[in-house]
């Protein structure tokens, strides 16, 4: 096994050590991502009326915009989950509750208190974070199954309560003033996605990130080394809530309508975890890759009636298969840390199964 001569300072290795082949693969990935990012920013501008009247080709149509916006949204949600579930090792299953709180924050602030959308977005970040900070205190004392189900319980309970209260529009939900601009929401979500990735990158390199990973690997050892585990867990949870809330806030205005089904949909939580899983839990690019691939799949096969149901079955199968054969996700492979072959799969089965 090749050993690096001078390892990156502050770069946390996932499992094994990078091989020269893996380092090359990683360089290719970085270049590809940079090109992709440039395209993501520039290409949609070609669809504006100004560009069109100047005779520039329209590379993407409105439908593609919407898909891209949703993909970006899931990048945010998945990356946010990654902070508490992937880095800290506390897999919250109900993070969609912060999506919902952020969505309703925007909806209520704009329609009831006549705030601007921008002001509403500030609320969409702060309110979920505050809520997470508060509820995290008892919640993060739980471990394993208890934590996962309790966090799920928070999501269904809050959704139910909001559905029953007139202040939030009850079951009929809240209608927002219409803002017609696919471009605006695309760039907003893209910005949020970039922010989420950037935050993950910064955290992984910081003392905070090391503390979280230490907590994940062995919480009592971390405590004894001086990591303030309670504070760090709550901080990670609040941060993931803030990001998820931002996505929810943007979505609320984009969708123009919020109610319990729209805002507190558990499938959003599960999908985002599946995305992180497929891409690679605890890595920077895992949630991005997973979100892009999975959401494209979902949008491609989305339909009405029976097709929607079959898509869900497909998703369930994908989830099952991914958990069995690919628990560490695909990014593992890109970092050269393992090779996605039969041996890898066999070893995974042997380690995890009975």
Partner 1 sequence: MNWGEQIVLGLLLGGVYVAVGLGFSLVWGVLNIVNLAYGAMVMVGGYLTWLLFVHGGIDPFVGLPIDVVVLFGIGYALQYVVINRVVRAPFLYTFLITFGLDLIIVNALLLVFKPDFRSVTTWYSGAAFAVGPVLVPYIRLWSLLAAWALAAVMWWILNRTRTGDAIQAVGADRDAAQLVGISLRRTYALTFGLGAACAGVAGALIATFQAITPTAGEPYTLQAFVVVILGGLGRVSATVVGGMMFGLVEVLAQSAPHLGAGYQNAIAFGVLVLVLLLRPQGLLGRTL
Partner 2 sequence: MTQPDDVLLSLRNVTRHFGGVAALDGVSFDVRRHEILGVIGPNGAGKTTLLNCICGVHRPDGGEIRFDDRSLRGLPAHRVARLGVGRTFQIVKPFASMTVRENAAVGALFGSSDARLPTRGAFAYADEVLALVGLAPKRSLPVASLTVPDRKRLEVARALCTKPRLLLLDEVMAGLNAVEVDEALEMVRAVHASGVTILLIEHVMRVIVGVCQRVVVLHLGRHLAEGRPADVLRDPRVVEAYLGERYARRHGGD
Considering the rule CB under 8 A, would residue 354 count as an interface residue with partner 1? yes
Separation of first and last alpha carbons in the chain = 29
**Span near partner 2 by CB under 8 A; candidates 44-52, 56-64, 110-118, 226-234:** 226-234
DSSP-based three-state secondary structure for 174: strand
198 Cβ neighbours under 8 A, 6+ residues apart = none
- CB closer to partner 2 out of 218 and 261: 218
**Span near partner 1 by CB under 8 A; candidates 27-35, 61-69, 114-122, 271-279:** 271-279
176 Cβ neighbours under 8 A, 6+ residues apart = 106, 107, 110, 111, 252, 253, 256, 257, 258
Out of 34, 172, 228, 300, the only residue in the binding site for partner 2 (CB under 8 A) is 228
Site string for partner 2, 274-313 (x = CB under 8 A): --------x-------------------------------
DSSP-based three-state secondary structure for 90: coil
Evaluate the CA torsion angle 99, 267, 170, 186 in order and state its sign: positive
- The Cα–Cα gap between 291 and 275 comes to 5
Closest to 282 (Cα-Cα) out of 329, 246, 235, 323: 329
For residue 231, the minimal CB distance to partner 2 (Å) is: 9
Considering the rule CB under 8 A, would residue 118 count as an interface residue with partner 2? no
User: E strand or H helix at 69, and its extent?
Assistant: helix 62-81
Measure CA 340 to chain center: 24
The secondary structure of residue 180, as a DSSP letter, is: -
102 Cβ neighbours under 8 A, 6+ residues apart = 124, 125, 127, 128, 244, 245, 246, 247, 248, 249, 252
Considering the rule CB under 8 A, would residue 42 count as an interface residue with partner 1? no
Considering the rule CB under 8 A, would residue 273 count as an interface residue with partner 1? yes
Binding at 20: pick from partner 2, partner 1, none (beta carbon under 5-8 Å per type): none
- CB closer to partner 2 out of 16 and 42: 16
Considering the rule CB under 8 A, would residue 227 count as an interface residue with partner 2? yes
For residue 88, the minimal CB distance to partner 1 (Å) is: 12
For the segment 150-209, give every residue that binds partner 1 (CB under 8 A): 150, 152-154, 156-157, 159-161, 163-164
Binding at 142: pick from partner 1, partner 2, none (beta carbon under 5-8 Å per type): partner 1
Report the half-sphere exposure of 175 (CA within 13 A, side-chain side): 3
Q: CA of 177: how far to CAs of 118, 189, 204, 300, in Å?
A: 14, 19, 39, 29
Site string for partner 2, 235-274 (x = CB under 8 A): ----------------------------------------
Chain positions contacting partner 2, by CB under 8 A: 1, 3-4, 7, 9-10, 12-17, 205-207, 210-211, 213-214, 217-218, 220-230, 282
Chain positions contacting partner 1, by CB under 8 A: 85, 91, 93, 138, 142, 144-146, 148-150, 152-154, 156-157, 159-161, 163-164, 270, 273-274, 277, 306, 309-310, 312-313, 315-320, 323-324, 327, 349, 351-354
């Amino acid at each position: 096994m090749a050993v690096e001569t001078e390892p990156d300072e502050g770069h946390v290795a996932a499992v094994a050590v990078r091989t020269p082949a893996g380092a090359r693969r990683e360089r290719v990935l970085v270049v590809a991502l940079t090109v992709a990012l440039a395209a993501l920013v520039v290409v949609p501008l070609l669809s504006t009326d100004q560009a069109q009247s100047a005779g520039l080709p329209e590379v993407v149509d409105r439908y593609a915009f919407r898909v891209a916006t949703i993909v970006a949204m899931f990048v945010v949600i998945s990356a946010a989950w990654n902070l508490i579930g992937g880095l800290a090792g506390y897999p919250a299953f109900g993070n969609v509750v912060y999506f919902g709180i952020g969505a309703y924050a925007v909806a209520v602030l704009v329609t009831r208190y006549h705030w601007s959308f921008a002001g509403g977005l500030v609320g969409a970040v702060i309110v979920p974070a505050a809520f997470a900070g508060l509820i995290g205190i008892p919640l993060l004392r739980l471990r394993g199954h208890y934590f996962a189900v309790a966090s799920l319980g928070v999501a269904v309970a809050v959704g139910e309560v909001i559905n029953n209260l007139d202040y939030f529009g009850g079951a009929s939900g809240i209608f927002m003033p219409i803002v017609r601009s696919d471009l605006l929401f695309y760039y907003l979500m893209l910005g949020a996605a970039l922010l989420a990735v950037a935050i993950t990158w910064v955290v992984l390199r910081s003392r905070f990130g090391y503390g979280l990973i230490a907590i994940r690997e062995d919480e009592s050892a971390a405590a004894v080394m001086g990591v303030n585990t309670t504070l760090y867990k709550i901080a990670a949870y609040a941060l993931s809530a803030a990001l998820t809330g931002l996505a929810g806030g943007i979505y609320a205005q984009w969708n123009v309508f919020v109610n319990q089904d729209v805002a507190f949909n558990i499938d959003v939580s599960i999908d985002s975890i599946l995305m992180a899983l497929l891409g690679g839990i605890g890595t920077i690019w895992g949630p991005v890759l997973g979100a892009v691939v999975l959401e494209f799949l979902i949008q491609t096969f989305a339909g009405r009636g029976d097709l929607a149901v079959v898509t869900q079955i497909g998703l369930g199968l994908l989830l099952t298969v991914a958990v069995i054969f690919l628990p560490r996700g695909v990014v593992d492979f890109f970092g050269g840390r393992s090779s996605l072959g039969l041996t890898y799969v066999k070893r995974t089965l042997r380690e995890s199964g009975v």
